[in-house]
């Protein structure tokens, strides 16, 4: 009788570990790669925007000099705004939109 009680307890503990710890480990790995990927992507985009700024300043043959020296900054700022808008649009039109719709339907019921 005592052995079967110990076996049942061990079975429950193994089941709890399997159903809680294993998914959490997978979630941690998923979050780690997502965060590292986001940081690297942002760093690459910043470097590309700086390269665009320097190209506009140096390779335009003096077009942006004197009273128009501010224009490359505005152009690069606009490019950054467009990139942020595209990212926000993709985030909101992807899985997040489906989740919001299903959550709204669930609250209406």
List CB contacts of 68: < 8 A, sequence separation 6 or more.
none
- What's residue 96's pLDDT? 66
58/27 Cα distance (integer angstroms): 46
Whether the pTM exceeds 0.85: the reply is no
- What's residue 21's pLDDT? 83
- How confident is the prediction along the chain (109 residues), in pLDDT tens digits per residue? 677 788 888 899 888 888 888 788 888 888 999 999 999 999 999 999 999 999 999 998 888 888 889 999 999 999 999 999 999 998 888 776 777 677 777 777 6
Looking at 22-94, list the stretches that DSSP marks H as alpha helix, in order from N- to C-terminal side: 22-58, 71-93
């Amino acid at each position: 009788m005592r052995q079967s009680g110990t076996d049942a307890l061990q079975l429950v503990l193994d089941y709890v570990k399997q159903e809680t710890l294993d998914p959490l480990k997978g979630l941690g790995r998923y979050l780690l790669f997502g965060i590292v990927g986001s940081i690297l992507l942002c760093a690459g985009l910043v470097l590309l925007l700086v390269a665009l700024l320097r190209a506009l300043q140096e390779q335009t043959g003096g077009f942006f000099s004197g009273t128009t020296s501010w224009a490359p900054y505005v152009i690069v700022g606009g490019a950054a705004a467009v990139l942020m808008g595209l990212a926000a649009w993709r985030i909101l039109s992807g899985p997040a939109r489906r989740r919001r719709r299903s959550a709204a339907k669930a609250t209406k019921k």
